[in-house]
C-alpha cells in the first residue's frame, strides 16, 4: 500500500467494483436463463450458456430435437447439469460468482497483499467468463 495518499488503493477499489458489477450481471443473466428452462422455453442460447456447448448443432445430440418454435420444452435443470462442460461452469456457475462477490466485498474492509492477489484472481475469472461467453453462438 504505497503510493500517493489520496489515490492509495484506488486500483484495488476499482477492481472490486468491476468484480461486483460483473458478478451481479452474471447472476442476473444466469437466473433469467434458468427461469426460461424451468418455464419450458429454453432457447439454443440459453442451453449454450448454461452447458458451455459452443456448437448449436451439438445441442440436438445432447438434448434431442427442439419443437417447431426452436425451443426445448422437455429439458430440465438436471439434464443441463449432466451435460455441463467446464466452459459452462465458468460462464454460469453461481458459486464462482458469489465467491467473487464475497472476495470483492471483503476487500473493501481488509487490505492485505494476499487479498489483492485474490481480487486479481476474481477479476481474471470474471473477465475470462465474459470472453468465453463471447464464443457462444448468438
pLDDT, the chain, mean: 90
What's the grid cell of residue 3? Answer: 503510493
pLDDT at 124: 96
pTM for the whole thing? Answer: 0.86
pLDDT at 2: 54
- Residue 49: partners with Cβ closer than 8 Å, 6 or more residues away: 29, 30, 33, 88, 91, 92, 133, 136
CB 19 within 8 A of CB 100: yes
Angle at 94 between CA 90 and CA 97, to 5 degrees: 70
pLDDT at 10: 83
Question: What percent of the chain has pLDDT above 90?
Answer: 69
CB 10 within 8 A of CB 118: no
Identify the DSSP state of 6. G
- Which of these, 52, 45, 129, lies nearest to 84 by C-alpha position? 52
6, β-bridge pairs: none
130 confidence band (pLDDT: 50, 70, 90): very high
pLDDT at 5: 65
* Cα(41)–Cα(39) distance, integer angstroms: 6
Taking 90 as the threshold, does the pLDDT of residue 35 lie above it? Answer: yes
4 confidence band (pLDDT: 50, 70, 90): low
Stretch 1-22: mean pLDDT, rounded?
80
For 16-58, the DSSP string reads: HHHHHHHHHHHHHHHHHHHHHHHTT-B-HHHHHHHH----HHH
Question: What percent of the chain has pLDDT above 70?
Answer: 94
41-89 pLDDT per residue, tens: 999 999 999 999 988 888 889 998 888 888 999 999 999 999 999 999 9
Stretch 15-27: mean pLDDT, rounded?
95
Amino acid at each position: 500500500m504505497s503510493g500517493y495518499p489520496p489515490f492509495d488503493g484506488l486500483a484495488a477499489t476499482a477492481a472490486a467494483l468491476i468484480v461486483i458489477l460483473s458478478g451481479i450481471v452474471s447472476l442476473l443473466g444466469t437466473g433469467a436463463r434458468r427461469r426460461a428452462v424451468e418455464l419450458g422455453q429454453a432457447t439454443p442460447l440459453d442451453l449454450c450458456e448454461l452447458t458451455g456447448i459452443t456448437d448449436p448443432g451439438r445441442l440436438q445430440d445432447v438434448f434431442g430435437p427442439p419443437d417447431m418454435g426452436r425451443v426445448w420444452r422437455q429439458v430440465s435443470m438436471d439434464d443441463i447439469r449432466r451435460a455441463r462442460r467446464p466452459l459452462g461452469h465458468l460462464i454460469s456457475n453461481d458459486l464462482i460468482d458469489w465467491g467473487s462477490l464475497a472476495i470483492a466485498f471483503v476487500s473493501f474492509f481488509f487490505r492485505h497483499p494476499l487479498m489483492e492477489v485474490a481480487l486479481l484472481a476474481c477479476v481474471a475469472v470474471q473477465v475470462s467468463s465474459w470472453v468465453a461467453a463471447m464464443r457462444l453462438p448468438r
